[in-house]
């Protein structure tokens, strides 16, 4: 595949800890902007994983996500491989996928979610964490995205409830509504939902232990992962 400066940035090493999400963003954005034109064949899995500096397992999950979102197609056989879809989602006017307004929502979410986790660790009790655990199990068992998303919204609001602040609950409810408007614009691959809920489960365990530092770090990574996925899969400007 012929390379230029833009493609070099696409295929450069991905930084942890959001390697999966950033890989989705990198490839999805390159496809949407036309840096990887329709029907382009991606490098072999082993070569691409080495170029990105990620495991083949992580790469497979990212490629599966992009296949499910309509950005890539996977073909078997002697002439098979992973190709950019013939009609992939493209950016309007070649601009950024996320508007300033959308980024403002994401920034607001960081402030609300991190603050809620800090106070939930300090003030939450066993029954509150048990309710969060039930919601994690509900997401794990969801077969429809609508059911998953309802439990997801309830999970984040319940963190604010565990913090014991009615005003924070109101703010969390507001930001979750705004996030739903953004999330509705993209596909919802199973790989993304599973990874997100694994983070939910780990977050509950850390809050139970009173580990505020690791809990807030995990929540920030959870939010950052959503940002990467939105940036990679969003098919048009918000």
Neighbours of 168 (CB within 10 A): 19
Does residue 109 or residue 25 have the better pLDDT? 109
| Mean per-residue pLDDT, 51-57 | 90
Which pLDDT belongs to residue 6? 61
Instruction: Please report which confidence band the pLDDT of residue 214 belongs to, taking 50, 70 and 90 as the band edges.
Output: very high
Q: Average per-residue pLDDT in the chain?
A: 88
> Phi/psi of residue 185, each to 5°?
-85, -10
Q: Name the residue with tokens 């994690």.
A: 136
Q: Express each pLDDT in 144-184 by its tens digit.
A: 999 999 999 999 999 999 999 999 999 999 999 999 988 88
Integer Cα distance of 160 and 169 in angstroms: 5
**Which DSSP string do the residues of the chain spell out, in sequence order?**
----HHHHHHTSPPPSSSHHHHHHHHHHHHHHTTSS-TTPBPPPHHHHHHHHT--HHHHHHHHHHHHHTTSEEEE-STT-EEEE-SS----GGG--SS-HHHHHHHHHHHHHHHHHHHHHHHH--HHHHHHHHHHHHHHHH-SSHHHHHHHHHHHHHHHHHHTT-HHHHHHHHHHHHHHHHHHTTS---HHHHHHHHHHHHHHHHHHHHT-HHHHHHHHHHHHHHHHHHHHHH--S--
Report, at the CATH architecture level, how domain 5-90 is classified.
Answer: Orthogonal Bundle (1.10)
pTM, whole model, 2 decimals?
A: 0.79
Highest CATH level, class, for 100-233: mainly alpha
What are the extents of the domains in the chain? Answer: 5-90, 100-233
Neighbours of 52 (CB within 10 A): 22
Q: Express each pLDDT in 119-154 by its tens digit.
A: 999 999 999 999 999 999 999 999 999 999 999 999
């Amino acid at each position: 595949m012929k390379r230029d400066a833009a493609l070099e940035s696409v295929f450069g090493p991905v930084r942890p800890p959001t390697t999966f999400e950033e890989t989705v963003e990198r490839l999805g954005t390159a496809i949407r902007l036309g840096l990887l034109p329709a029907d382009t064949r991606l490098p072999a899995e082993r070569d691409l994983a080495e170029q990105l500096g990620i495991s083949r397992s992580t790469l497979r999950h990212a490629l599966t996500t992009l296949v499910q979102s309509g950005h890539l197609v996977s073909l078997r056989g002697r002439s098979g491989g992973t190709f950019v879809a013939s009609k992939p989602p493209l950016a309007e006017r070649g601009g950024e996928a996320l508007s300033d307004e959308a980024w403002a929502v994401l920034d607001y979410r960081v402030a609300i979610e991190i603050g809620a986790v800090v106070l939930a660790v300090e003030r939450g009790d066993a029954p509150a964490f048990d309710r969060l655990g039930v919601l994690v199990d509900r997401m794990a068992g969801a077969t429809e995205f609508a059911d998953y998303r309802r439990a997801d919204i309830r999970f984040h609001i319940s963190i604010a409830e565990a913090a014991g602040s009615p005003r924070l609950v109101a703010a969390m409810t507001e930001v979750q509504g705004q996030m739903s408007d953004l999330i509705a614009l993209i596909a919802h691959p199973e790989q993304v939902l599973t990874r997100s809920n694994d983070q939910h489960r780990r977050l509950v365990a850390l809050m139970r232990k009173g580990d505020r530092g690791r809990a807030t770090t995990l929540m920030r990574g959870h939010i950052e992962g959503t940002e990467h996925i939105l940036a990679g899969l969003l098919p048009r400007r918000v």
